Chain A
């Protein structure tokens, strides 16, 4: 009886191993390229198209990562740190390139593949895929924040943050909606705001090589603007909790007159408030004294170091971000293209009435600081700047310099 049972158990065990051992190879001989990407509604269509075009050279399997950027990064790095061969093409946020490249988890793009990834690609998004002079990813989509305003309340959009505060003061005097929404919550959004202000004031958070803290007088100027804004008539009482979606909702609800945000707010306004969309306009991102430099976002495709078939993975990544794929992503999912020619493709005028403004902003947009420890730099910066109304420029600057300095050497503790 006992013997019989253990033999049965053994048979089950063998069966399990058999299933596991042939699970990896996939059917039909074509290598399976596992794509891991953030949720994107019509990405499956793009994958399908590439699989047809591949003609059996490879078959892309779409795997969807969690919705939150931190959760996506966590899942990817945990599996990469373990040398997982189940990942081939990785959809990366523009801020992760340095980290994954420095750790040796993604492959450098060279030769023909690199040439194809660079051809016709806008310079700023391409820069986000480069670490220490080497290309580590192919730009997929880009993004920039613009100033979105209600023309019935703000007839002439100001070009600076001071101008916005004056407009809000005027609207408040007239008893009209006067809030201006910014992403002031303690998360990546407040870092994005600060980074753009520092760049608009002519400085940067880190030195160009990402090794040292820069900050200095432009950063102090940026801190002064944030503090003044958070204490002005423009500040929504929930400023210190506002993320992108809260900003969008405040304008749609009619509580705020304007916002700085990504272009997704336009389609949302058209869908939710057709009565307001007629007066809903866009303008360049506000500056400190001169023109502003908009925050740059977006995503790139990289190939894992542990991919068992890198050649197929590079080919798949190139197809997933070719002009036609980018056109589909732009018109169906609202992701601005990184290939300049796609802005003039069919369907773009209807989906992107603001495409010239986006293209214009992308050319001067400011990327996030480049460093393998960006996660740490961002976290300590967000903690130090929150809440913006409590910023004390000279003192906050000293704290920032110290904490970012520690974070760069991965020395300090993350909150």
Chain B
């Protein structure tokens, strides 16, 4: 169908109106990404400005053969999988409560959202002091002499706990929007057919909520994979608790090694892209605005 003159003019105007935003996006997002990729192909250590050189894939070889990198990747994957799984279960429970609450609905929703509203760094300091022997109320509950943040597994546990506490409300909010997708009459019909509450949840609610669940998992997985502030405050990577973002920071900012640090950043970006691809293709998540994702962006 041919576009009319008016429609074409309108479309042109639309493009012009978008242009400034697109330009800003290019400047603030695309250029740093391209620059990072360029840095990752260079030997570039700020302390040896004279030794700057293009070295191809050497930095990638160095990073990918380093046990520190693989250890950080393992820690990150573990934190991501465990915290997102726990958040999904807890978040679903909280979403049901928030959705079904009749009395004080606004109050319940506000209270649940409080941890999410607290600045992560401030919350992380709260956890840090709570677990520090001598000053912390949580440390006081442990046997004498226990200092969980100074040992590998207890420290990972504390990091996951802080992460779960902080972001479960976000998960619950996304899932609650998904619950709104389940028509009340379908549930009632299922009940008429003799389905118990568990069957109704498993066979009716969950399948209908699927787009919202997958979108929530996608958001949280990508978020959790880039975990930085909690670890920075709680352990700063000691006891082998560095995530990939931590180790990139240590090499880039602490080590002043722009080449190695950028290589790590690019690898993180690639990993995140792969995870997103798997979610979109494998699990059928759709991009926000794609139409199938009702809950997350509120259009159905």
Contact = CB atoms under 8 A, between A and B. Distances in A.
Q: Do the two chains bind?
A: yes
Interface of A: 70, 73-74, 77-78, 81, 99, 102-104, 185-187, 237-238, 241, 372-373, 375-376, 379, 410-415
B47 A99 contact: yes
Which are the 7 A-B pairs with shortest beta-carbon distances? A413-B66, A415-B68, A410-B45, A241-B150, A372-B47, A103-B47, A414-B255
A296 to B, nearest CB: 22
A70 B254 contact: yes
Contacts of A104: 49
B255 A77 contact: no
6 contacts: A74-B254, A81-B46, A99-B47, A103-B48, A379-B250, A415-B240
A414 B68 contact: yes
B254 A414 contact: yes
B251 interface: yes
B176 to A, nearest CB: 39
Contacts of B48: 102-103, 372, 410
A148 B72 CA distance: 39
Nearest to B133: A238
A78 B251 CA distance: 13
Given A103-B46, A104-B49, A372-B48, A78 B68 contact: no
Given A99-B47, A413-B62, A74 B253 contact: yes
B255 A375 contact: yes
A103 B72 CA distance: 29
B66 A103 contact: no
B46 to A, nearest CB: 5
B152 to A, nearest CB: 11
Contact of A102 (B47, B145, B247): B47
B119 to A, nearest CB: 18
A405 to B, nearest CB: 13
Contact of B255 (A102, A241, A376): A376
A76 to B, nearest CB: 11
A73 B47 CA distance: 13
A376 B247 CA distance: 13
Contacts of B145: 237-238
Contacts of A237: 145
Query: Which of A73, A375, A413, A415 has the most chain B CB atoms inside 10 A of its CB?
Result: A413
Given A74-B253, A241-B147, A375-B254, A413 B260 contact: yes
A78 to B, nearest CB: 7
A246 to B, nearest CB: 10
Given A74-B253, A74-B254, A375-B255, A413 B69 contact: yes
A372 B242 CA distance: 24
A77 B68 contact: no
A414 B247 contact: yes
Nearest to B239: A186
Nearest to A415: B68
B47 A413 contact: no
Contacts of B71: 415
Nearest to A413: B66
B238 A413 contact: no
B59 to A, nearest CB: 10
A238 B134 CA distance: 15
A369 to B, nearest CB: 15
A104 B150 CA distance: 38
B221 interface: no
Interface in B212-249: 237-240, 242, 247
Contacts of B72: 415
B124 to A, nearest CB: 16
B97 interface: no
A398 to B, nearest CB: 15
Contacts of A415: 68, 71-72, 237, 240, 242, 247, 250
B190 interface: no
Contacts of A413: 62-63, 66, 68-69, 247, 251, 260
B194 to A, nearest CB: 59
A73 B253 CA distance: 10
Contacts of B42: none
Query: Which of A70, A375, A379, A412 has the most chain B CB atoms inside 10 A of its CB?
Result: A412
B255 A410 contact: yes
A49 B147 CA distance: 45
Contacts of B247: 413-415
A403 to B, nearest CB: 10
A413 B68 CA distance: 7
B215 to A, nearest CB: 35
B32 to A, nearest CB: 15
A361 B69 CA distance: 41
Contact of B62 (A78, A103, A241, A411): A411
B280 interface: no
Query: Which of B66, B145, B238 has the most chain A CB atoms inside 10 A of its CB?
Result: B238
A74 B47 CA distance: 13
B256 interface: yes
Given A379-B250, A414-B68, 12 more contacts: A99-B47, A103-B46, A103-B47, A103-B48, A104-B49, A185-B150, A410-B48, A412-B62, A415-B68, A415-B71, A415-B237, A415-B242
Query: Which of A77, A238, A372, A411 has the most chain B CB atoms inside 10 A of its CB?
Result: A411
B66 A77 contact: no
Interface in B247-276: 247, 250-251, 253-257, 260
A186 B71 CA distance: 17
Contacts of A74: 253-254
